[in-house]
Structure 1
Amino acid sequence: MGERILLVEDAPQLGAQIVEHLRGAGFEPAWWREGRVLAPGELPDVSLVVLDLMLPGTYGLDMLKSLRAFSEVPVLILSARNDTLDKVRALKLGADDYLTKPFWPEELIERVRARLRRPALQKPDAVVELGPLRLDLASHEVQVHGQPVELTRVEFALLAALARRPREAVTRQWLVDHVMDPEREGTERTLDVHVSRLRRKLGARHGVETVWGVGYRLVPGDGT
């Protein structure tokens, strides 16, 4: 069989059709019928995720957001929602493509192939090292000078977002949109609380700097 693809789709007939077409194109599909918030280690070893938005269990964009906290696997959104705002939000949260229902099976297969032709652009290093700071994006482990630092889910997602762009200012609104849970904690004030806690845990030499009027940036320590 070919590359493994995870399909998340609750409609029985449509899901069965997509699975059939994926297999016919030489792929190996796995099919989930409901959404779920994913943690590291819960995502199967797949090369691509095909994700519906309107799902039982967990809304598709919430599933995408949890996935992006630890993985850069390509994600193709399937949705009957054709609103531009939905598409923009999905892309901002890390989706790689957006296909509106109904669609031709041939188009879906070609979009899948297009995503898989560019794997190098989708998979950054699993470990980020910045001075004495070390982040394992797969296991969610953080170390400073070789000593483990215990972070919450949001603190790790915040640190990972800044670590991918070291010394670069990231706006507070971008961090709210991509790191926080919009239903429970999606405010800049709550973001500031998480930043304060993260600073205490990392220590003054290896922390997060405020860029006034913009947001935050991660400036690695000098190793001392």
Structure 2
Amino acid sequence: MGERILLIEDDQQLGAQITDFLGRAGFEATWWSEGRPLQPGEAATYRLVILDLMLPGTYGMDILRQLREGSDVPVLILSARNDTADKVRALKLGADDYMTKPFWPEELVERIRARLRRPVMQRQNAVELGGLSVDLESHEVRVQGKPVELTRVEFELLAALARRPGAAVTRQWLVENVLDPEREGTERTLDVHVSRLRRKLGPGKHIETVWGIGYRLGDGEGP
């Protein structure tokens, strides 16, 4: 049985086509033709949600907002609205990707597969790995019990890795989700921030380079 995907789309013809295409691609698709909030624990049964914005019932943005209050399931917005403001708002509310209609079904499938290959953010207030402690709520970082002062970008970078301890996170994802795309959104700039962060964290392989992919948070021991 394939990975479960929830499709929320009111267009009957399009919904049927997407459901059929997902099935042939090896996914198990559930289709809702109108918007409604997901019940507690319901989101956990799906690996990804495809969400239209203009829905009868509950508006798509409201579904996204409610979903993000208690779940980190990846959400891909699929909408005819291509206004930049809508895209920015959806991404700020926690959407992982945004596709505009019309689209190629093959691209949709590949975007789903790409999203599912990435580690999913875990909801937790603190992460401790080796001698490193990261409090995601208070933004406090300690190494061997000693506080470490970080800039906003350095903390967001460390937090992104801390939410996926031991998992490799691509440089492209970090650039798109941590750096400011208007001012500093390049992989070279990311490498500079990583270098500065490593110096502040001190000796030990806390942030490991995964060649050809990106970075991951290690236990600080290393060979």
| Change in CA separation of 1:56 and 1:164 when aligned onto 2, cut-off 3 Å | farther
Look up the equivalent residue of 2:84 and give its one-letter code: T
Look up the equivalent residue of 2:122 and give its one-letter code: P
2:122 to 117, 121, 124: 124
Among all aligned residue pairs of Structure 1 and Structure 2, give the percentage whose two residues are the same amino acid: 66
Q: Could you tell me how far 1:35 is from its partner in structure 2?
A: 1.0
With normalisation by structure 2, the TM-score equals 0.56
| Paired position in structure 1 for 2:137 | 165
- Specify the SS of the correspondent of 1:31: strand
Q: Indicate whether 1:43 and 2:43 are aligned.
A: yes
Q: Any gaps of 5 or more consecutive residues in structure 2? A: 128-134, 141-151, 153-223
- Specify the SS of the correspondent of 2:31: strand
Distance in 1, Cα, partners of 2:137 & 2:110: 32
Q: Any gaps of 5 or more consecutive residues in structure 1? A: 131-162, 171-224
Q: Indicate whether 1:61 and 2:33 are aligned.
A: no
Q: Could you tell me how far 1:69 is from its partner in structure 2?
A: 0.2
Q: Could you tell me how far 1:115 is from its partner in structure 2?
A: 0.5
Look up the equivalent residue of 1:48 and give its one-letter code: L
| Change in CA separation of 1:100 and 1:6 when aligned onto 2, cut-off 3 Å | same
Q: Could you tell me how far 1:27 is from its partner in structure 2?
A: 0.4
| Change in CA separation of 1:164 and 1:10 when aligned onto 2, cut-off 3 Å | farther
Distance in 2, Cα, partners of 1:112 & 1:129: 29
| Change in CA separation of 1:16 and 1:44 when aligned onto 2, cut-off 3 Å | farther
Distance in 2, Cα, partners of 1:44 & 1:124: 12
Cα RMSD, aligned residues only: 2.2
Distance in 1, Cα, partners of 2:58 & 2:82: 20
Native 8 Å contact 2:48 2:73 kept in 1: yes
Point out which structure has higher relative CO (alpha carbons under 8 A, 6+ apart).
1
Distance in 2, Cα, partners of 1:4 & 1:42: 12
Q: Could you tell me how far 1:128 is from its partner in structure 2?
A: 3.9
Matching of residues 10-21 of structure 1 within 5 Å: 10-21=10-21
Look up the equivalent residue of 2:121 and give its one-letter code: K
Native 8 Å contact 1:39 1:67 kept in 2: no
Distance in 2, Cα, partners of 1:88 & 1:21: 28
Look up the equivalent residue of 1:166 and give its one-letter code: S
Look up the equivalent residue of 2:72 and give its one-letter code: E
Distance in 2, Cα, partners of 1:26 & 1:39: 26
Distance in 2, Cα, partners of 1:68 & 1:39: 12
With normalisation by structure 1, the TM-score equals 0.56
Distance in 2, Cα, partners of 1:67 & 1:164: 20
Runs of 4+, deviation exceeding 3 Å? 127-130
Look up the equivalent residue of 1:37 and give its one-letter code: P
Q: Could you tell me how far 1:59 is from its partner in structure 2?
A: 0.5
Look up the equivalent residue of 1:124 and give its one-letter code: Q
Q: How many residues align?
A: 135
| Change in CA separation of 1:59 and 1:164 when aligned onto 2, cut-off 3 Å | farther
